[in-house]
C-alpha cells in the first residue's frame, strides 16, 4: 500500500490494483473563500499550491473516494477533473444522490466494492451546534486481501464509537485529519490531545493529514511532531509533507 499525500486531505491511495484519489481538492491556492468565520485569521483557501507530484498522481488514478462533500474534500476543480476523466466516485450512501446530480458516476462504497471488504464507520464532524452544521460524514475501513488494512476516519472528533471501531477492526494504518479545525465556534476536528489518544489506541501506523493548507486549521506539523515525539509515538505516527509518499507492507 502506498499513501501519496498531496495536500490537506487529498491523497492517492494505492491498494492492490487500485489507484484511488481520496477527497480531491484540486484548486489553485486562494481559489476558495476562507472558512474561519469567527475569531479572525480568515484567508482565501487553499493556503498552499498542490505539490509538483500531483499531475503524475492524478494521471494514475483509477477511481475517487469521497469521505464527504465539503469543499475542502471536493472542490470545483476536483469535480471538473473527475468529470473530464469519467472516473467512478465511491461515496457514502447519503452522498451518492447529490453527486449523481452533479453529473458524477457516483457509486456507494459498501462491503464488496472495489473487490474488498469495506466497512463504513459514521463519524461526528464536530460537537453540538458545530457538529450539526457540518452534517454526517463517513469513515471507511478498507481491507484489500493483499494489502495492509486502512481506516480513513474522515473529518471527525474523537468519540467512543470511533475508538470502538479501532478496537474491533485493528487497522494496520489509520489516516486521520489533524489540523484541529474550527470556524471560531468550537472544534470540528480532533484536538491534538484527541490525536494522542487515537494514536495510542491504534494498533500500528497512523498518518496525520489535513494540515497547513486551510485557514481554519491552526495546528502545524512541527508542533504535532514535537508532541507525538514527547508522547513516545513518533515511530508510529507519520506526518507527511505535501508530495511525500508513504509505503506500508502487509504484516505476516
The footprint of Zn ion (CB under 5 A) covers: 72, 155
Q: What angle do CA 204, 65, 69 make, to 5 degrees?
A: 110
How far is Cα 138 from Cα 131, in angstroms, rounded to an integer?
13
Least Å from the CB of residue 146 to Zn ion: 30
Nearer to Zn ion, 72 or 242 (CB): 72
Nearer to Zn ion, 74 or 228 (CB): 74
Could you tell me the CA-to-CA distances from 240 to 103, 143, 154, 177, 199 in Å, in that order? 33, 22, 17, 12, 16
Which residues does residue 144 pair with via DSSP β-bridges, in sequence order? none
Least Å from the CB of residue 113 to Zn ion: 23
Least Å from the CB of residue 133 to Zn ion: 13
The three cell numbers of residue 119 are 466497512
Nearer to Zn ion, 155 or 242 (CB): 155
Eight-class DSSP state of 23: S
User: Hey, is 107 helix, strand or coil?
Assistant: strand
Nearer to Zn ion, 155 or 212 (CB): 155
Least Å from the CB of residue 72 to Zn ion: 4
Nearer to Zn ion, 14 or 67 (CB): 67
Pick from 19, 1, 33: nearest CA to 216: 33
Least Å from the CB of residue 11 to Zn ion: 13
**Nearest 5°: phi and psi at 200?**
-65, -40
Nearer to Zn ion, 104 or 152 (CB): 152
Burial environment of residue 146 by CB neighbours within 10 A (0 to 12, 13 to 18, 19 or more): exposed
Least Å from the CB of residue 67 to Zn ion: 8
Amino acid at each position: 500500500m502506498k499513501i501519496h499525500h498531496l495536500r490537506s486531505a487529498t491523497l492517492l491511495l494505492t491498494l492492490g490494483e487500485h489507484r484511488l484519489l481520496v477527497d480531491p481538492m484540486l484548486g489553485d491556492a486562494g481559489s476558495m473563500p476562507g472558512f474561519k468565520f469567527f475569531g479572525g485569521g480568515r484567508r482565501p483557501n487553499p493556503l498552499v499550491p498542490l505539490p509538483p507530484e500531483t499531475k503524475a498522481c492524478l494521471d494514475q488514478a483509477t477511481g475517487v473516494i469521497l469521505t464527504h462533500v465539503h469543499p475542502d474534500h471536493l472542490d470545483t476543480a476536483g469535480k471538473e477533473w473527475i468529470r473530464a476523466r469519467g472516473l467512478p466516485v465511491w461515496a457514502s450512501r447519503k452522498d451518492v444522490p447529490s453527486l449523481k446530480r452533479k453529473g458524477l458516476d457516483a457509486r456507494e462504497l459498501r462491503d464488496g466494492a472495489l473487490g474488498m471488504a469495506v466497512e463504513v464507520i459514521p463519524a461526528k464532524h464536530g460537537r453540538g451546534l458545530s457538529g450539526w452544521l457540518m452534517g454526517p460524514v463517513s469513515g471507511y475501513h478498507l481491507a484489500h486481501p493483499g494489502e495492509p488494512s486502512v481506516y480513513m476516519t474522515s473529518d471527525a472528533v474523537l468519540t467512543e464509537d470511533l475508538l470502538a471501531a479501532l478496537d474491533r477492526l485493528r487497522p494496520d494504518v489509520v489516516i486521520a485529519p489533524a489540523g484541529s479545525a474550527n470556524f471560531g465556534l468550537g472544534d470540528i476536528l480532533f484536538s491534538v490531545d484527541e490525536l494522542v489518544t487515537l494514536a495510542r489506541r491504534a494498533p500500528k501506523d497512523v498518518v496525520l493529514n489535513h494540515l497547513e493548507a486551510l485557514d481554519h486549521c491552526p495546528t502545524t506539523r512541527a508542533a504535532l511532531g514535537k508532541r507525538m515525539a514527547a508522547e513516545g509515538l513518533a515511530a508510529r505516527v507519520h506526518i507527511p509533507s505535501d508530495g511525500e509518499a508513504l509505503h506500508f507492507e502487509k504484516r505476516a
